[in-house]
């Protein structure tokens, strides 16, 4: 069966001599892995660059229930991104978030329209903002919780669930701002505070969603520092 959907790319691995297996969160089918044949071949008419992390694509797919791995036959940009992959800081944040988001999406095997819309709009915002770039990953991970069933109803719960030390009043105010303010807001914090808040968020998701510690965390910290 031939189907169409929009999808957010979360990464890929090489497959065979010239193909890839790409992880995509689609609007109509949720999270899954798909094969793209011959995209790495010199004869390919399209670039593998379409499948950079957080790319937002329009997809034509062959779906067969008896097959574990479905196939993408056609693709094009749905929303072109202009800065996400060329800006070193935004690129590092993107690689980190796609790793964490992929793990959080493991159970999203069916459509989740609200989550898809949130992720798409967040990516679009991240591509355009000039302020608050170093805080985007914190805001994204705090704001995405409700769409996945891990809402942080009280800021204290972010720390109490994993028996961390309660935040200072300054950290409390920063977290509150991160949750409530739009992307790009000028929320002042130093790298120590930013690192502490990220640690609390990751511990929260490790505790509730049982995700592993991100491999790209050290790279992110080195770029932001």
From 118, 107, 162, 159, select the one nearest 140 (Cα to Cα).
118
HSE value, Cβ hemisphere, 13 Å, CA-based, for 164: 20
Class of domain 88-224: mainly alpha
The SS3 assignment for 141 reads helix
Looking at residue 138, what is its pLDDT?
97
Burial class (CB within 10 angstroms; exposed 0-12, middle 13-18, buried 19+) of 101: buried
Say which residues have a Cβ less than 8 Å from residue 157's Cβ, sequence separation at least 6.
Answer: none
Closest CA to 197 of 213, 174, 218: 174
Fold of domain 2-79 = OB fold (Dihydrolipoamide Acetyltransferase, E2P) (2.40.50)
By C-alpha distance, which of 4, 35, 1, 3 is closest to 18?
35
Positive or negative torsion for Cα 136, 139, 142, 148: negative
Q: Where are the domains of the chain?
A: 2-79, 88-224
Phi-psi region of 30 (alpha: psi -120 to 50; beta: other; left: phi over 0): left
> For residue 26, what pLDDT is reported?
95
Q: How far apart are CA 24 and CA 7, in angstroms?
A: 6
Q: Which residues of the chain have pLDDT under 70?
A: 66, 160-167
Q: Specify the pLDDT at position 167.
A: 67
Six token digits for residue 61: 């797919």
């Amino acid at each position: 069966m031939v189907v169409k959907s929009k999808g957010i790319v979360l990464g890929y691995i090489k497959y065979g001599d010239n193909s890839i297996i790409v992880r995509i969160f689609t609007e109509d089918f949720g999270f899954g892995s798909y094969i793209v044949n011959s995209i790495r071949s010199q004869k390919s008419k399209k670039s593998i660059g379409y499948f950079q992390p957080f790319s937002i694509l329009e997809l034509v797919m062959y779906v067969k229930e008896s097959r574990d791995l479905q196939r993408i036959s056609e693709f094009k940009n749905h929303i072109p991104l202009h800065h996400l992959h060329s800006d070193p800081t935004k690129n590092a944040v993107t690689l980190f978030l796609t790793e964490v988001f992929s793990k959080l999406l493991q159970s999203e095997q069916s459509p989740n329209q609200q989550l898809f819309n949130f992720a798409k709009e967040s990516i679009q915002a991240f591509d355009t903002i000039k302020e608050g770039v170093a805080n985007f990953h914190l805001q994204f991970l705090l704001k995405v919780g409700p769409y996945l069933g891990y809402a942080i109803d009280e800021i204290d719960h972010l720390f109490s669930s994993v028996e961390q030390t309660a935040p200072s009043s300054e950290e409390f105010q920063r977290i509150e701002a991160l949750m409530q303010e739009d992307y790009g807001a000028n929320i002042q914090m130093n790298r120590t505070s930013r690192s502490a808040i990220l640690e609390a968020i990751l511990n929260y998701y490790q505790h509730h969603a049982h995700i592993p510690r991100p491999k790209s965390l050290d790279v992110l910290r080195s770029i932001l520092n």
